[in-house]
Amino acid sequence: MALVKVCGIREYEHATAAVEAGVDAIGFVFAESKRKVSLKHAQNISKKLPEHVKKIGVFVNASLEELTVSYESVGLDFVQLHGSESPLFCEKLNLPFIKAFRIKSDDDIDRVHEYKNASYYLLDSATGPYQGGNGTQFNWGLLDEKEIDHNKLILAGGLNPDNIQNAIEIVQPSMVDVSSGVETNGVKDIDKIKRFIDLAKQF
């Protein structure tokens, strides 16, 4: 059974609905995105969440200082790096981190091995205007012949209540990450959040 992360949370009511449905992690987007939140707003939501729910901040090419300040002020458990952060940069980062990769080909998957100190590898689609949260999926079949630690694998990109069980069966990830797949007209939908988590936890 995969862990579930709901990303792009902006409202406490949506975070609460996810927690009540059994979510394992909540994601706050601090990078440029239609789901971007301020540190203060994320802090206000984060401090009301139960300790067992992991709080993850999403960043794109942020400085070491920005990552550290955000991590400490919001009470994050992980920073999620969605930009072109190098292995050397990540080695200097004295924080638990998730490295995201935009997958187009086999070579993109091979890059995960350059980031050995990552807590997790997040594999996302390379299609769309943003570094993540575009609601598109990559070819999961690219993972078939790859040696990758599935205990550190987070699957993202185009997941929704209709395909989540199939995705878990094919990819066998440690965690699944959803954002636009539980939205209606660009806003988190409580019914979709609950349905997604329930279906993921059933499998």
What is the distance between the alpha carbons of residues 28 and 23, in angstroms, rounded to a whole number? 14
Tell me, yes or no, if 90 is annotated catalytic. no
Among 24, 77, 124, 177, the one annotated catalytic: 124
Choosing from 7, 24, 77, 177, the catalytic residue is 7
Q: Is 7 a catalytic residue?
A: yes
**Cβ 68 vs Cβ 95: under 8 Å:** yes
| CA–CA distance, 190 with 163 (Å, rounded to integer) | 18
Catalytic residues: 7, 124
